[in-house]
A and B are shown apart, each in its own frame.
Chain A
Amino acid sequence: MRHPSHRRPWHRLPALAPAVAALAFAVALRVAPAGADEIFVTNERDNTVSVIDSATYAVTRTFPVGRRPRGVVFARDGKRLFVCASDSDTVQVIDADSGKTLADLPSGEDPEQFALSPDGRTLFIANENNATTTVVDVESRSVKAQIDVGIEPEGMAVSPDGKIAVTTSETTNMVHWIDVATLTAIDATPVDQRPRHAEFSKDGKTLWVSSEIGGTVAVIDVATRTVTRTIHFEIRGVASDRIQPVGISLTDDGRLAFVALGPSDRVAVVDARTFQVTNYILVGRRVWHTALTPEQDRLVTTNGVSGDVTIIDVPSLKAIRTVKVGRFPWGAAIRPVAGAAPAGEAAAGPK
């Protein structure tokens, strides 16, 4: 199968002379169309963050960050960006406009993914290498707690009401439930092999968890902490063990779920009410994570092997652009242009 960019030469805009890109940036700044956003992408292998203007689909700037950047999320004000620099063992606080590092947060060893609590100041960080979740107060830059969880914690999410945090452990194969008030692990729910990502529905009633090796997505009832639905994927012409669910995005209206399917190079579209898979969208190679724009009209995917991101038009469910970024793009976070506060939960990007 071919990547969209191989077919459509006009996707190669970012490869044009920097002057053109700079011009595009200037134009975008002056007349930012309604709904224009900035997409921040962590490049795991390059130790950089690429910034894409959603109006022009040009990479407007690339700035260096710590080693092996993965998880990325915006602060509520949309001005500060948090980046998990996994091999630097820190979470960096970055000024999103200038790309300057403002502070390094104590994150525990090997932070991979994290989630910002609705209070805007508590970060829950999965420490992949030492089986803990580190809870950090962003304002005082101090560790509030370290909580033992299963081996290789990866996915992190906080419920919309801020009362429950969850982390998924990739080798223990469980969802660990953390009571935010007491910062204790209160329960564990077994899921399929290698759970990678967790995402709460906007109403907080269900939790979606992807299992990379199991090849499934578990829909968990938050009240009872039991799996109520297991979603399977099947793509004609693709071996079932190449279908490896990783990133999940849920639309605010509760209608759709997007599931990145790793080396199958596709994003599954799931009806979030019936849990039926309705569509598979071909994107770049080894798709990791996804993020919705604040307007919910575009979905961005990070494609680790092909080193690009795919922009999907949500109403038509079509891949409309491919934008080349750095090597091994991993996470994406989106904010409205010019640093306006991101609207809604989705602006925080993948957790």
Chain B
Amino acid sequence: MRGETRRDGPERPARPPRRPVVRVAVSMVVSLAAFGVAAPARAAEPVGIAYLERRIERPNPLNNEDPVPADQGLRGAELGLRDSNASGRFVGLSFALTSRVVEPGADIRAAFAGLVAGQGKPRFVVVNAPAADLLALADAPEAKDTVLLNVGATDTRLRDADCRARVLHVIPSRAMLTDALVQLLVFKRWSRILLVSGPEPADGLYAESLRRSARKFGARIVAETSFDARGADLRDSALREFALATRGPEHDVVAVADEAGEFGTNLVYNTEAPRPVVGTQGLTPAAWGRAVEAWAAAQLQDRFRKLAGRTMDPTDWAGWMAVHTVGEAAVKLKSADPAAIATLMLSPTFEVGGFKGRALSFRAWNGQLRQPLYLLWPGAVVGAAPVEGFLHRTTELDTLGLDRPESACKAFGG
């Protein structure tokens, strides 16, 4: 179809795991694969996993930042495939990944059909696309026997009234992100928030999420203002315009809702009062980031850097996690049977590691992966959420995002 990029055709699975390389003087290297010893003699058909992405047009960088990588998410999925194959071979399993990127305006359902043609059912499709695409796919008859793994849409409604059975959310919702941020603010007693929102719908959703989180944890939005970067050239006017926009009652932090990055980075150190900037820029809540190091994250970061030649961002992590989840379920079952894998993944007892120091699992009421989140500035990890002191009767991880009684999701039988 027109405008569609085909990065890796269905007939060409991504490469198998790289052979280890020894960088030392070696007198005799006997590299002995474990195939055939631990594994059954005949290998089963590879478990097929697909990756489908909607390309997003992004604003030009304001401050000469590195652009958002074109292969964001996909490279994570590729690392997930490599890891899954490295583990799967010990139980005679292998995995194959096919991927497609859909251009803006192109038909994602048609791309989906082409991508999964010939695959056994149910299928596993990692989707890196906005909420509307995800819902279109979930509701399409051709995706009936498909587990969709959402790595791109943070919309809380997808975990609420607009949830769908067989849609698992690997990436955290906005509600989880802003809950994590507000937990840290409340912990530090920086609970008076001045909120500056951009004009985009996504900015509005982020701002609304912040308001909900503030109510949930006892922080206070003392004033709200909006800012539209399109009105001026920030390079000239930042010093004056931001001071005006952030003038308001006494506050501890300036929260910014600017998901596309139109102005938030420039707001830092440009506020009227000497206050930290938090939210989509400044101190940000995220599933992953360059500075994440603890809980053996350094190992995953290293593997990713070797594969992709760049740092791993939250979408890459979610891509890795999505494929790793399928791989882990299959290896646990020692089975390539997609139905059994899907059943295990969707079962409330399924747990999987994600380099976050805890066993991760999917919430039985809306399919959201429960997980710790990080509070980051570009230099370091400031803290991790759930923040100490925020308690929950089942798991503190469920203090982040929609808890069972808060979610209107019924698709999971809840």
Q: Using a CB–CB distance below 8 Å, which chain A residues touch chain B?
A: 89-90, 106-109, 127-132, 134, 140, 142-152, 169-174, 176, 183-188, 190, 193-194, 213-215, 239, 241, 244, 263
Contacts and interface: CB of A to CB of B under 8 A. Distances in A.
A142 B27 contact: yes
Given A214-B359, A241-B395, A145 B29 contact: yes
A148 B332 contact: no
A154 to B, nearest CB: 9
B38 A187 contact: yes
Given A145-B28, A146-B31, A244-B357, 4 more contacts: A108-B22, A145-B30, A146-B20, A187-B37
A172 B90 contact: yes
Given A143-B26, A174-B87, A188-B91, A213 B38 contact: no
Contact of B30 (A146, A172, A193, A215): A146
16 contacts: A90-B24, A143-B24, A148-B20, A151-B87, A171-B87, A171-B353, A174-B87, A176-B38, A176-B90, A184-B34, A185-B38, A193-B359, A194-B353, A213-B357, A214-B351, A241-B395
Contact of A148 (B27, B34, B83, B328): B34
A106 B24 contact: yes
Contacts, number: 128
A188 B396 contact: no
Contact of B28 (A89, A144, A149, A184): A144
B113 interface: no
B230 interface: no
B19 to A, nearest CB: 8
A185 B86 contact: no
Q: Which one of B20, B28, B91, B331 has the greatest number of beta carbons of chain A within 10 Å?
A: B20
Contacts of A152: 296, 299
Interface in B9-63: 17, 20-34, 37-38
B6 interface: no
Contacts of A214: 351, 359
A193 B328 CA distance: 10
Nearest to A129: B302
Contacts of B27: 140, 142-143
B170 to A, nearest CB: 17
A150 B37 contact: no
Contacts of B396: 239
Contacts of B23: 89, 109
Interface in B341-357: 351-353, 357
B359 A185 contact: no
Contacts of A174: 87, 90
A215 B87 CA distance: 21
Contacts of B302: 129
Contacts of B25: 106
Contact of A151 (B30, B83, B351): B83
Contacts of B21: 109, 130
Nearest to B396: A239
Interface string B379-414: 000000000000000011000000000000000000
A106 B26 contact: yes
B26 A185 contact: no
B90 A143 contact: no
Give the interface centre of B22, B38, B328 by most chain A CB atoms within 10 Å.
Answer: B22
A148 B32 CA distance: 6
Interface string B333-375: 0000000000000000001110001110000000000000000
Given A129-B302, A186-B38, A172 B24 contact: no
Contacts of A190: 91, 331-332
B303 interface: yes
Contacts of B90: 150, 172, 174, 176, 188
A193 B353 contact: yes
Top 7 A-B pairs, shortest CB-CB distance: A106-B24, A172-B87, A142-B27, A185-B34, A130-B20, A188-B90, A145-B30
B18 to A, nearest CB: 9
B299 A129 contact: yes
A144 B32 CA distance: 12
A131 B331 CA distance: 17
| Most chain A Cβ neighbours within 10 Å, of B24, B29, B38, B352 | B24
B61 to A, nearest CB: 33
A183 B34 contact: no
Contact of A129 (B37, B303, B328): B303
Most chain A C-beta atoms within 10 Å of own C-beta, residue among B32, B302, B328: B32
A131 B38 contact: no
Nearest to B21: A130
Given A148-B34, A170-B296, A213-B359, A193 B351 contact: yes
A244 B356 CA distance: 13
Given A127-B20, A129-B299, A146-B29, A176 B34 contact: yes
Contacts of B31: 132, 145-148
Given A150-B86, A172-B87, A183 B30 contact: yes
Contacts of A213: 353, 357-359
B33 to A, nearest CB: 5
A103 to B, nearest CB: 12
A129 B300 CA distance: 9
B24 A89 contact: yes
B358 A241 contact: yes
A128 B299 contact: yes
B172 to A, nearest CB: 18
B295 to A, nearest CB: 9
Contacts of B352: 193
